[in-house]
Amino acid sequence: MANKTLVLIALSAILFLSSCSVDQKSPDLRSFVFEWSDGSCESDADCQPVEYGCGGGRIMCTNDPAKWKDVITTCEIIEDHPSKEGYSCACSAQEKRCGWAR
């Protein structure tokens, strides 16, 4: 009976320890493009989409919105901008830089 109890305790301990997880960052499986982006980052909170240029016609994904505040550009429509193709401003964990993620 004592052997069965020890075996049950050992199995319980093994199951408990195997269920504990090490805090690891999972890989970022999103697809990124880095055109129209600027700046380094550690997390998505570091990156912001900022409208700039003629009538806010351009959007930069950046960690430094003040840098783009007074930028003046030509007035043109950018049809293939990532923000118009389902991408959102985010931080690439692998690249440690702001970009457009989908």
- Each residue's pLDDT tens digit, 27-66: 678 899 999 999 999 999 999 999 887 766 789 999 999 9
* pTM, full prediction: 0.69
Q: Helix (H, G, I), strand (E, B), or coil: what is residue 102?
A: coil
**Is 8 a residue whose pLDDT tops 80?**
no
Question: Sign of torsion, CA 42 28 95 32?
Answer: negative
Domain borders along the chain are 29-101
pLDDT class for 72, splitting at 50, 70, 90?
confident
Tokens (6 digits) for 101? 């993620």
